[in-house]
Amino acid sequence: MSEEEEGGGTFIDTSGARSSSTTNTPPPPPTKEKRRDGAYIIIIIMLLLAGGFLGWKLSEKNEIINTCQNERDELQIEIEGLNTMMYDQGLEVGEDVKENLQNMLTMYDKMKVENTDMADSINAQKDRIKTLMSELEDAKGDKAAYASKVYKLQKETDVLRSIMKDYIRTIDSLNVANGVLTESLAETMENLDKTQSSLNNMTEERDQLSDKVNKGSKLVAFGFTTTGIKEKGSGSYKEMTRASGCTHIRSCFTVGDNAIASPGDKTIYMRIITPSGTVLNSSQSNTLKTEGGQSLLYSDKKVINYQNQATDLCVFYKLTEEIAKGNYSAQIYADGVLIGSDNFVLK
């Protein structure tokens, strides 16, 4: 009998059973930490892919931006060259306009009249000529706008020249001017005609260059026809030259083509300047803001859909009262900038 049996009990060996039980136990399931690590790896891979895609798109956009920047720089260089060419052309025309104005001023100085009203009117024309000469000189500092300013002053000079001819005829009819003065005036007028013919030829050349300069960012209005009109009962209109018969002021013109200007709706403002310097308007609240922040009264306005092509239009202003006769000016604004002007006379 073994010692275990002597102890009064039966000994059962369970070591083999424990060993068998341990060997057949299945492996434990993956822990939450391992699943979380796998998810992090997937997220990181997706973020890296997304970052690579965004980097590729950013590089593509940068190439497009650089191309546009180069094209804009080339266009800017072309515009600057054209501005310089137009400025040089404008200097030549400007000198002729200045000489034309000086000749008219000299002729006015030689006029001797006894009629007080006519004398005051002549002095007003002389003051206007001096103002135009000053404006012409001041405009030389702006290369981009000088040629346009010369063109505007040239048109106004034509109007002043026409007025001066009226004075000459009036003085002749009153037999105020003597024979020597009349002969001198006629000779000067002939010289002015020759100068005008030369200016017209130069203007034609300048207009050809203007087609390229108009590709700048500012709109330009030209081809003006501004008149007083009378509305008939049928709704039609008749042009009037007498101030007392006008019911409206109408200015028709063309807004030139411009490849750089932003297309879309454009508000075109018209300012009618009276002989006394005031602005015809139907309300003191009718104001426009200039590019420099100045508030200006306007007479009337019109909205057009501008698509970078030459656009013809007319702006009407309905008179609220009878207006005085004399020299009027129509100024046209767009995008806060004076884009053109015209002068007309109502008797």
The answer to the question of residue 49 being in a domain is: no
- Tell me what the pLDDT averaged over the chain comes to: 80
User: pLDDT tens digit string along 34-63?
Assistant: 677 788 888 889 888 888 888 888 888 888
- Please give the pLDDT value at position 2: 45
Average pLDDT of span 184-200? 76
- Please give the pLDDT value at position 83: 61
The answer to the question of residue 3 being in a domain is: no
Tell me, yes or no, whether 77 and 93 share the same domain.
Answer: yes
Tell me, yes or no, whether 158 and 197 share the same domain.
Answer: yes
Q: Domain boundary at 213, 241, 270, which?
A: 213
pLDDT at 217 > cutoff 90: no
Q: How many domains does the chain have?
A: 2
335 burial level (CB within 10 Å; 0-12, 13-18, 19+): middle
Q: Following CA atoms 106, 109, 110, 115 in sequence, which dihedral angle do they give, to the nearest 10 degrees?
A: 150
Higher pLDDT, residue 15 or 310: 310
Tell me, yes or no, whether 205 and 227 share the same domain.
Answer: no
Higher pLDDT, residue 131 or 140: 131
Q: Domain boundary at 189, 213, 237, which?
A: 213
User: pLDDT tens digit string along 238-250?
Assistant: 998 899 889 999 9
The answer to the question of residue 344 being in a domain is: yes
Mean pLDDT comparison of 96-105, 197-206, 324-333, highest-scoring range = 324-333
- Please give the pLDDT value at position 81: 63
Report pTM.
Answer: 0.40
The answer to the question of residue 286 being in a domain is: yes
User: pLDDT tens digit string along 135-177?
Assistant: 878 877 676 667 777 777 778 788 877 787 777 777 766 654 4
Kindly report the CATH number assigned to the domain that includes residue 242: 2.60.40.10
d(CA 244, CA 325): 8
Tell me, yes or no, whether 259 and 331 share the same domain.
Answer: yes
Tell me, yes or no, whether 134 and 222 share the same domain.
Answer: no
Tell me, yes or no, whether 75 and 168 share the same domain.
Answer: yes
The answer to the question of residue 222 being in a domain is: yes
Tell me, yes or no, whether 129 and 164 share the same domain.
Answer: yes
The answer to the question of residue 16 being in a domain is: no
Average pLDDT of span 214-235? 84
Tell me, yes or no, whether 188 and 234 share the same domain.
Answer: no
Tell me, yes or no, whether 70 and 207 share the same domain.
Answer: yes
Tell me, yes or no, whether 149 and 288 share the same domain.
Answer: no
Where in the sequence is the domain holding 184, given as residue range(s)?
A: 60-213
Average pLDDT of span 86-91? 65
pLDDT at 1 > cutoff 50: no
d(CA 271, CA 278): 10
User: pLDDT tens digit string along 243-290?
Assistant: 988 999 999 999 999 988 989 999 999 999 999 999 999 899 999 999
Any idea which of 83-87, 117-121, 142-146, 147-151 has the lowest mean pLDDT? 83-87
The DSSP letter of residue 242 is S
The answer to the question of residue 20 being in a domain is: no
Tell me, yes or no, whether 74 and 206 share the same domain.
Answer: yes
For residues 221 and 340, the answer to whether their CB atoms sit within 8 Å is: yes
The answer to the question of residue 53 being in a domain is: no
For residues 301 and 268, the answer to whether their CB atoms sit within 8 Å is: yes
Tell me, yes or no, whether 226 and 96 share the same domain.
Answer: no
Q: Domain boundary at 213, 247, 273, which?
A: 213
Half-sphere exposure (Cβ direction) of 310: Cα atoms closer than 13 Å: 8
